[in-house]
Amino acid sequence: MPEFTPISVFDIGQWSRTATGANTLTNFTYWPPISLNTTTGIDITTQGWTRTSPIETFASTSSTMWGLWNAGVQDPVAFAADQYFGDDAQPQPGRERRLAVRARAEELLQCLLTPEQWQAYQANQAFEVVGSLGRRYRIKHGVSGNIGIIEHGVEVARLCAHPQTYDRNADAHLPTEDVLIGQLLHLTSDEASFLRVANVHHGRIPDLAA
Amino acid sequence: MTSSVITNTFTGTLHTLDGNGDSQLTWDKDVPGEVEAARKHFNRMTKPRSKGGLGYLAYTVDEGGGRGEVLREFDPEATRIVLAPQTVGG
């Protein structure tokens, strides 16, 4: 069980940095990322990163998240390759275990989705669901701000709500596929309570048709 | 003349989303010990945090159905249950 730091604020917007050497890494969403007012995390602005999206923040008490953040700021290419690029990543300690975890989570996700949803996810890294109240949502592969409300085929709002991704019991993070499972099940079973906790990043939540 | 008894073995699976992808616990509804073990795990995970539990959300799901139903109490008849950490705004 890790020691938890006092609440600190993370910035979950997009940042970019051109790395030195042969590897260039730009414009990827970094999670869990930025320290704005902490004594625990490394200040990203001193490491050559620049912001590429509006500021978005959330609070966390997890020292593990800060550990990940510091690792990523100090060695972004290795960190991002390990966290985000899967099979294309360079060999990293623990990578095999993470791939196995993701494969396991993906297997459960496939089991829960309809064949059509799974096909869409395979093709576009996104699938659509109808909430228990009837609104249509597009869930994209991701953890934060990855849910769009779809009206007449157009995204009219972007939401952020997800299962708590840090498992204190296992001292581990949920794989992204588990996050999608949690979002899928919550939206389709209790859309109202999902919307109560979700933050609207942009747009509006449409009224239900009478 | 011989008679045969056909026993329908019913097995349910409880998936707990965690850092391993998920941890699975199965039970046979005709084996009280297995049912009780699954029920205890379910109750421990779903007990509200305000009461010392972990506050997980429980859903029954149908394979390939693309949706879930909220489950308030452990159901030994369910074929698949998913326990997910509480949803939080991001």
The SS3 call for residue A179 is helix
> Where would I find the H helices in chain A?
63-74, 76-84, 95-112, 115-124, 176-189, 191-197
Residue with tokens 């996104």: A126
Retrieve residue B50's tokens: 């305000």
Give A169's contacts in chain B (Cβ within 8 Å): 18, 54
Check B90 against A58: CB less than 8 A apart.
Answer: yes
Of A102, A163, A183, the CB nearest to B86: A163
How far apart (Å, rounded) are the C-alpha atoms in residues B27 and B76? 8
How far apart (Å, rounded) are the C-alpha atoms in residues A165 and A7? 16
pLDDT of residue B10 exceeding 60, the answer is yes
- Label residue A82 exposed, middle or buried (CB < 10 Å: 0-12, 13-18, 19+): buried
Give B18's contacts in chain A (Cβ within 8 Å): 167, 169-170, 172, 174, 178
Give A58's contacts in chain B (Cβ within 8 Å): 89-90
Stretch A21-30: mean pLDDT: 34
Which pLDDT band, with edges at 50, 70 and 90, does A87 fall under?
A: very low
Of A12, A163, A170, the CB nearest to B19: A170
Whether the CB-CB separation of A184 and B67 falls below 8 Å is answered with yes
Which pLDDT band, with edges at 50, 70 and 90, does A12 fall under?
A: very low
Of B63, B85, B90, the CB nearest to A111: B63
Check A112 against B54: CB less than 8 A apart.
Answer: no
Give B68's contacts in chain A (Cβ within 8 Å): 112, 184-186, 188-189
pLDDT in tens, A51-65: 555 544 444 444 445
pLDDT of residue B2 exceeding 90, the answer is no
Which pLDDT band, with edges at 50, 70 and 90, does B62 fall under?
A: confident
Tell me how close the Cα of A37 comes to any Cα of chain B, in angstroms.
18
Stretch A32-49: mean pLDDT: 45
- Taking only Cα atoms into account, the Rg of chain A, rounded to an integer number of angstroms, comes to 18
pLDDT of residue B83 exceeding 90, the answer is yes
pTM of the model: 0.68
Stretch A23-42: mean pLDDT: 37
Stretch B60-65: mean pLDDT: 86
The SS3 call for residue A79 is helix
Check B67 against A188: CB less than 8 A apart.
Answer: yes
How far apart (Å, rounded) are the C-alpha atoms in residues A15 and A53? 7
CA dihedral A14, A15, A21, A22 (to 10 degrees): 20
Mark B74-86 as b/e (b = at least 16 C-beta within 10 Å). bbbebebbbbbbe
Share of chain B above pLDDT 70, in %: 89
Higher pLDDT, A165 or A186: A186
Tell me how close the Cα of B1 comes to any Cα of chain A, in angstroms.
44
* Predicted local confidence at residue A161, as pLDDT: 92
B76 touches A at CB < 8 Å:
no
Retrieve residue A35's tokens: 């320290």
Tell me how close the Cα of A20 comes to any Cα of chain B, in angstroms.
32
Check B57 against A186: CB less than 8 A apart.
Answer: yes
Give A130's contacts in chain B (Cβ within 8 Å): 67
Using alpha carbons, select from A102, A182, A112, A107 the residue that is nearest to residue A147.
A182
* Predicted local confidence at residue A113, as pLDDT: 95
Residue with tokens 């429980």: B58
Whether the CB-CB separation of A203 and A149 falls below 8 Å is answered with yes
Higher pLDDT, A49 or A96: A96
pLDDT of residue A26 exceeding 50, the answer is no
How far apart (Å, rounded) are the C-alpha atoms in residues A129 and A149? 10
Strand partners, B11: B28
Strand partners, A139: A127, A147
Stretch A111-115: mean pLDDT: 94
Residue with tokens 């995970």: B45
Of B17, B57, B65, the CB nearest to A114: B65
Which pLDDT band, with edges at 50, 70 and 90, does A174 fall under?
A: confident
pLDDT in tens, A116-168: 999 999 999 999 999 999 999 999 998 888 999 999 999 999 999 999 877 66
Q: What does pLDDT average to over chain A?
A: 69
Using alpha carbons, select from A177, A190, A197 the residue that is nearest to residue A135.
A190
* Predicted local confidence at residue A142, as pLDDT: 87
Q: What does pLDDT average to over chain B?
A: 86
pLDDT of residue B25 exceeding 80, the answer is yes
Whether the CB-CB separation of A148 and A155 falls below 8 Å is answered with yes
- β strands within chain B, DSSP E: 11-18, 21-28, 57-61, 68-70, 80-84, 87-89
Stretch A95-109: mean pLDDT: 83
